[in-house]
Amino acid sequence: MNHKKIAVCTALIAATQIAAPLVHAAENWPTRPVRFIVPYPPGGTTDIVARGIAGKLSDRYGQQFVTDNRGGASTIIGADLMANAAPDGYTLLLATATTLSINPNVMQKLPYNTLRDFAPVTQTVYVPFVIAAHPSVAAGNIPELIKLAKAKPGTISYGTPGTASTNHLGGALLESMAGIKLLHVPFKGSGPAMTGVLGGQVNIIITGAATVLPHAKSGKAKILAFASEKRHPKWPDIPSTGEAGLKGYESGTWFSIVTRAGVPRNIVNTLNKETIIALNSSDLKDRLESIGFDIRTQSPEEFGKFIKDDLAQTAKIIKTAGIKLE
């Protein structure tokens, strides 16, 4: 055997010796606690989803899945931590539409790249939006709202949790598809935006059904439609925008789980399988659905395609509406 062949054999042996522990570690994952980053402050809806899943996974594996709230900077702080974590499956991120689709389209300098830095695991829940109005608004359904908006361009106001939020994008898409001009009024959070509608400071709101329903029941607000193609099975009495003529219009927000790009595939697949089982367990599913969430899961491949499509759709909405962060 010549020196060149000896060198090649030595390199192959070394590579095998390096790869073997990695494969073994992946097969036995997890052997220690897993960090589950939540890029929002404690106490919000993201916390409910993350802690629910973490508890189920902890029970399943006998290892702690520890939620770590790292809120701030429009989820960038938490996402940056995920993007710089080791690709070993011991760090997860509860990523939202803001993290993966909106930030890359409105921020020029971002310390992470959605498609490069993260491995998609699955969506977890979807929050369907409704379009609701203050009782004084002279519209009881979507066709009447469109007619009113066309008669008074730029005067019908809608409140959102902030510029470039999923709610804002929902309003911008409504304007584009209906051929109307609304007045966007950003608030500092969903709560203040809802208060703005209840107090009559703004005319309409596009937000989660669970946020509006209590006020609709008391007569302080009226729901015009679900922002979806079909009626929601849980609230069949509420019409949809699709049946009102806005075919293809859908507005809502979603939460998901991603991990670091490069995590062994079998860990990603295991996480996907066990997360779906956790979300469909009767107690967690009932709890999430009771606060207005729909369970929505996919394979890692399906979720990866969804992210790419959502990035492109979000870019189109933002460009058409001329949305910019100040």
CATH code for the domain of 183: 3.40.190.10
pLDDT digits 0-9 by tens, 90-133: 999 999 999 999 999 999 899 999 999 999 999 999 999 999 99
Rg, Å, the chain Cα set: 23
Same domain for 160 and 89:
no
| pLDDT tens string 211-249 | 899 999 999 999 999 999 999 998 999 999 999 999 999
Cα-based angle 6, 8, 14 (whole degrees, multiple of 5):
100
Residues spanned by the domain of 203: 128-226
Judge whether 237 lies within some domain: no
The answer to whether the bond into 30 is cis (omega within 30° of 0) is yes
- 203 with 183, same domain: the answer is yes
Task: Note the helical H segments in 118-189.
Answer: 142-151, 166-178
Mean pLDDT of 137-160: 96
> SS3 sequence, 290-308?
HCCCEECCCCHHHHHHHHH
Which comes out higher in pLDDT, residue 174 or 11?
Answer: 174
Residue 234 lies in a domain: no
Same domain, 121 and 135: no
Mean pLDDT (whole number) for 66-72: 95
The predicted-structure confidence for 303-326, as pLDDT tens digits, reads as follows: 999 999 999 999 999 999 999 886
pLDDT, position 12: 52
State the pLDDT at residue 27. 77
pLDDT digits (tens, 9 = 90+) for 246-290: 999 999 999 999 999 999 999 999 999 999 999 999 999 999 998
What is the predicted pLDDT for the residue at 194? 94
Q: Is residue 140 part of a domain?
A: yes
User: pLDDT value at position 183?
Assistant: 97
pLDDT of residue 25 exceeding 60, the answer is: no
CATH number assigned to the domain comprising residue 44: 3.40.190.150
State the angle between helix axes of 45-61 and 282-290 in degrees (0 to 180), rounded to the nearest 10.
180
For residue 1, is it within any domain? no
Provide the pLDDT for residue 105. 96
Running DSSP on this structure, what letter comes out for residue 240? B
Same structural domain, 88 and 134: no
CB half-sphere exposure, 3, CA atoms < 13 A: 0
Residue 28: strand, helix, or coil: coil
Say yes or no: 141 and 220 in one domain.
yes
Helix axes 190-198, 209-217, angle to 10 degrees: 30
Checking if the pLDDT of 19 tops 70, the result is no
Predicted pLDDT at 20: 47
pLDDT band at 68 (very low <50, low <70, confident <90, very high): very high
Task: Looking at the structure, tell me whether residues 186 and 278 fall in a common domain.
Answer: no
Q: Let me know if residue 3 belongs to a domain.
A: no
Q: 191 and 44: one domain? A: no
Check whether residue 98 and residue 143 sit in a common domain.
no
Rounded to whole angstroms, the Cα distance separating 64 from 156 reads: 49
pLDDT at 210: 86
Task: Please count the structural domains in the chain.
Answer: 2
Q: Is residue 239 part of a domain?
A: no
Residue 24 has pLDDT above 70, yes or no: no
Tell me what pLDDT residue 189 has. 86
Mean pLDDT of the 138-151 span: 97
pLDDT at 9 over 60: no
pLDDT of residue 69: 96
Of 191, 226, 261, the position where a domain reaches its end is: 226
- Give dist(CA 76, CA 220) in Å, integer: 36
